[in-house]
Amino acid sequence: MENIKDKVVVITGASSGIGEATALLLARNGAKVILAARRADRLKQLTQRIQTEGGQADYLVTDVKMRSDLVKLVDFATIRFGHMDVLVNNAGIAHLSRIDQNEVEDWEEMIDINLKGVLYGIAAAMPVFKIQGGGHIVNIISTSGIKIVPLQGVYAGTKNAVRTITEALRQESKGKYRITGISPGFVNTELADHMKEPAVQAATREMAAKIAISPDAIAGAVLYAVSQPDNVDVGDIVVRPTVQD
């Protein structure tokens, strides 16, 4: 893990779940982490925890729906630590419903966060990476973009779009930048909290209690990809519960 030490890693959606676990693991392995999310209190607590453990961290309240927020975030990271090595596009949201229910506002929120938020992050990071001559984008996707099931149509659509963008960017980079896509399966996060229908929320929580894996498993995949030698690009990782079909 020597290749992770002193790398500056920006993580969106860092206030809980996969983002929080990733921040803790990377900081414990010597990375300097910049935490981004909308909940200032959670970011402050996590930053203080990392610092108490001897790690280096700072935070900026960020809404990935706002392109200007991502620009400010990258600027903040480069000013705070002098450069930026990795952007982990982790922020995401899932609203599950039948497509014919016409939950258009939910669709728009998923598109704004899951898809446009990733693009805004890439757009903010690339100018810095070009000046530096390198950098690493890690996009947290989902197995929902691999196996399509009812109620996840639009959510899976946003994730499939990110999968396509990730691969296209990898090919276009021609070795200038490292591009990694990580697709978690069922992970024990706050996913159910955002679901409006009580029956869907209850079913999701029941399944989570039975099969969900820890966010630490996904954090481990991020650490693996980021810590590889500069000439090694880990392109695609799928991490799911062993019992998930």
Tell me the residue type at 156. Answer: A
Out of 59, 120, 155, 177, the active site residue is 155
* Token reading at 74: 């990258």
Four-residue CA torsion sign, 69, 135, 51, 190: positive
Strand, coil or helix: 197: coil
Tally of CB atoms within 10 A around 230 = 10
Instruction: Determine contact, residues 177/135, Cβ cutoff 8 Å.
Output: yes
Question: What span, in angstroms and rounded, lies between the C-alpha atoms of 129 and 83?
Answer: 9
Between CA 35 and CA 27 the distance in angstroms is 11
59 part of the active site: no
Q: Given the structure tokens 């209690």, which residue do they identify?
A: 209
Would you name the residues annotated as active-site residues?
155
